[in-house]
């Protein structure tokens, strides 16, 4: 999959492809089929698509009911509603009984852009990560989204898939040996001085930052940690042992997301300095997506600065 595509668009295409061989797949929307790109699935499989209106809690409960009847529902709405408004239903109706429902939070992070702080969800990874038994995935590009959608469809357990609104460059199909596996991060670029662990669209920025640092003689490893939970602890610990310092990068609050998961792992298994790069515990604001990301420091340039700072903390 060459070029650029929003992960929400790649997801919509993946649903149509997978429906042909997975009759258990059904799709539920909360009046946002056009925005979350499930509208084409609705056209091709009208008997397997259900528009629940602006009733996210009801949609989640119905998905749970369908799951008890042998279906694998994918619920779709914006991340702020999927993990905020319907959190209790996700916890009690889906996760508590361990039902195979994939909750899809589209338009996650600051890159929602003009919709502003009310819709720029930077708390969703935390909200979903704390639910027992919940798998949490944040694909970085269209190619990875296709693999993630299939993997979660085949997972007989509750899961959360976070998607973004803006188009992002496809990078995983350019990496030799790339392989997607739930619960396993992938090393996109090797390096020995520091490690950047990123998810979502920050993977692309991490690769750019590593390139900038290489020009200065700094060798930065880049890990695509698409699965936030279960975290690939072995890969994290290996990176900490080999490079001595970690920088995490995510389009999410620095509290409760990828950075928190990495810190929790390393504090017990391999204590090294960890610098978290993300949204600094504040709300977003309205603006063009790339300008908003830049305003909050979610760029390769700022990430490179975080790595330089992290190196000053590295144990000799």
Residues serving a catalytic function are 56
CA dihedral (263, 308, 144, 261) in degrees, to 10, reads 10
Cβ-count burial of 291 within 10 angstroms (0-12 exposed, 13-18 middle, 19+ buried)? exposed
Q: What is the CA radius of gyration of the chain?
A: 19
CA distance readout (Å), 79 to 55, 196, 296, 315: 14, 25, 19, 39
Cβ-count burial of 67 within 10 angstroms (0-12 exposed, 13-18 middle, 19+ buried)? buried
Tokens of 53: 């209106």
Residues in CB range of 182: below 8 A, 6 or more apart: 135, 137, 148, 151, 152, 155, 227
Strands 220-224 and 167-169: unpaired
What residues does 223 pair with on adjacent strands?
A: 187, 197
Q: What is the DSSP string of 33-49?
A: HHHHT-HHHHHH-GGGE
């Amino acid at each position: 999959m060459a070029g650029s595509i929003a992960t929400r668009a790649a997801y919509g295409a993946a649903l149509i492809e997978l429906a042909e061989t997975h009759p258990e797949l059904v799709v539920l929307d909360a009046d946002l089929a056009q925005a979350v790109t499930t509208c084409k699935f609705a056209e091709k499989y009208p008997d397997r698509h259900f528009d629940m209106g602006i009733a996210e809690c009801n949609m989640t409960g119905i998905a749970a009911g369908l799951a008890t009847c042998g279906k694998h529902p994918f619920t779709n709405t914006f991340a702020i509603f999927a993990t905020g408004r319907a959190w209790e239903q996700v916890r009690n109706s889906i996760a508590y009984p361990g039902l195979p429902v994939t909750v899809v939070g589209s338009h996650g992070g600051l890159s929602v852009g003009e919709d502003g702080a009310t819709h720029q969800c930077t708390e969703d990874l935390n909200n979903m990560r704390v639910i027992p038994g919940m798998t949490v995935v944040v694909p970085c590009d269209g190619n990875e989204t296709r693999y993630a959608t299939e993997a979660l469809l085949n997972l007989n357990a509750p899961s959360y898939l976070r998607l973004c609104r803006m188009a992002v460059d496809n990078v995983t199909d350019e990496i030799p040996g790339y392989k997607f596996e739930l619960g396993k991060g992938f090393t996109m670029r090797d390096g020995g001085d520091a490690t950047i662990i990123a998810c979502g669209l920050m993977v692309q920025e991490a690769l750019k930052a590593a390139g900038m640092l290489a020009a200065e003689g700094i060798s930065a490893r880049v890990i695509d940690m698409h699965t936030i939970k279960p975290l690939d602890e072995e890969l994290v610990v290996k990176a900490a042992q080999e490079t001595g310092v970690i920088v995490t990068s995510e389009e999410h609050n620095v509290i409760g997301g990828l950075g928190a998961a990495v810190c929790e792992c390393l504090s017990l298994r391999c204590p090294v300095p960890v610098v978290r790069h993300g949204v600094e515990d504040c709300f977003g604001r309205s603006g063009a997506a790339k300008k908003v990301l830049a305003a909050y420091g979610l760029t390769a340039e700022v990430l490179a600065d975080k790595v330089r700072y992290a190196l000053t903390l590295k144990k000799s």
